[in-house]
Structure 1
Amino acid sequence: MGIEAPTLLSLLEEKQGDFVSGEEISQKLNVSRTAIWKQIRKLEAQGYTIEAVNRLGYRILERPSRISPVELSLKLKTHTFGRNVHVHEVVASTQDVLRDLAEAGAPEGTLVVAEQQNRGRGRMGRSWVSPPGKGIWMSLLLRPNVPLLQTPQLTLLAAVALNRAIERVTGLDIGIKWPNDLLIDGRKISGILLESATEDERIRYVVVGMGISVNLEETDYPEEVAAKAVSLRMASGRVLDRIELIAEILKEFEELYSVFNASGFEPIRLLWEARSINLNKPTALMTAGGRIEGIPRGISETGALIVETPDGGMQTVYSAEINPWEPAAGQDGQQKA
Structure 2
Amino acid sequence: MDPVSFIVKKGINTRIIGNKLKYFEIMSSTMDDVIQSGLNGENEGLTVVSENQTHGRGRTGNQWVSQEGNLLFSILLRPPSEIVNLLQPMIALSLQASIKRYCKLNVDIKWPNDLLINQSKIAGMLFESGTTAGKLEYVALGIGINVELQKVPQITATYPVTDLQTHTEFFVDRNELFSNIIHDLDTAYWDLKLGFDPIQRWKDELKIEGKMVSLNSNGIIITGLVLEVNDEGGLVVQCENDNIVTVMTGNLIERKH
**Following superposition of structure 1 onto structure 2, how do residues 171-250 of structure 1 map, counting pairs within 5 Å?**
171-217=104-150, 220-224=151-155, 228-250=160-182
Structure 1's 73 and 275: CA in aligned 2 closer, same or farther, altered over 3 A? Answer: farther
1:146 to 81, 97, 100: 81
Aligned-partner residue type, residue 221 of structure 1:
V
How many residue pairs get aligned? The number is 256
Contact 1:215-1:239 within 8 A present in 2 as well: no
Deviation at 1:305, TM superposition (A): 2.2
Structure-2 separation of matches of 1:163 and 1:263: 21
Structure-1 separation of matches of 2:256 and 2:129: 36
Contact 2:8-2:22 within 8 A present in 1 as well: no
**Following superposition of structure 1 onto structure 2, how do residues 107-146 of structure 1 map, counting pairs within 5 Å?**
107-132=43-68, 134-146=69-81
Worse overlay, 114-123 or 248-257: 248-257
Do residues 170 (structure 1) and 103 (structure 2) align?
Answer: yes
DSSP-derived class of the 2:25 partner = strand
DSSP-derived class of the 2:96 partner = helix
DSSP-derived class of the 1:117 partner = coil
2:3 to 57, 63, 66: 66
Identity score, percent: 30
Do residues 317 (structure 1) and 252 (structure 2) align?
Answer: no
The equivalent of 2:225 in structure 1 is 295
The equivalent of 1:253 in structure 2 is 185
Deviation at 1:274, TM superposition (A): 2.3
Note the alpha carbon deviations across 1:35-89, whole angstroms, 9 max, x for none: xxxxxxxxxxxxxxxxxxxxxxxxxxxxx311125x3465735212112010011
Aligned-partner residue type, residue 162 of structure 2:
V
Structure-1 separation of matches of 2:107 and 2:128: 24
1:155 to 88, 91, 113: 88
Aligned-partner residue type, residue 254 of structure 2:
P
Worse overlay, 201-210 or 77-86: 77-86
Structure-2 separation of matches of 1:75 and 1:110: 12
Larger radius of gyration: 1
Note the alpha carbon deviations across 1:10-50, whole angstroms, 9 max, x for none: xxxxxxxxxxxxxxxxxxxxxxxxxxxxxxxxxxxxxxxxx
Aligned-partner residue type, residue 306 of structure 1:
V
Q: Which of structure 1's runs of 4+ aligned residues deviate more than 6 A?
A: none
Structure-2 separation of matches of 1:298 and 1:252: 28
Structure-2 separation of matches of 1:161 and 1:73: 24
Provide structure 2 residue ranges, at least 5 long, that are not aligned to the other structure: none
Deviation at 1:101, TM superposition (A): 1.5
Structure 1's 228 and 326: CA in aligned 2 closer, same or farther, altered over 3 A? Answer: closer
Aligned-partner residue type, residue 4 of structure 2:
I
Structure-1 separation of matches of 2:199 and 2:34: 27
Structure-1 separation of matches of 2:93 and 2:243: 28
DSSP-derived class of the 1:263 partner = coil
**How much is the aligned-residue C-alpha RMSD, in angstroms?**
2.3
Structure 1's 275 and 86: CA in aligned 2 closer, same or farther, altered over 3 A? Answer: same
Deviation at 1:200, TM superposition (A): 3.1
Do residues 106 (structure 1) and 37 (structure 2) align?
Answer: no
Provide structure 1 residue ranges, at least 5 long, that are not aligned to the other structure: 1-63, 328-337
Aligned-partner residue type, residue 89 of structure 1:
E
The equivalent of 1:5 in structure 2 is none
Structure-2 separation of matches of 1:205 and 1:119: 21
Aligned-partner residue type, residue 305 of structure 1:
L
Aligned-partner residue type, residue 139 of structure 2:
V
Deviation at 1:313, TM superposition (A): 5.9
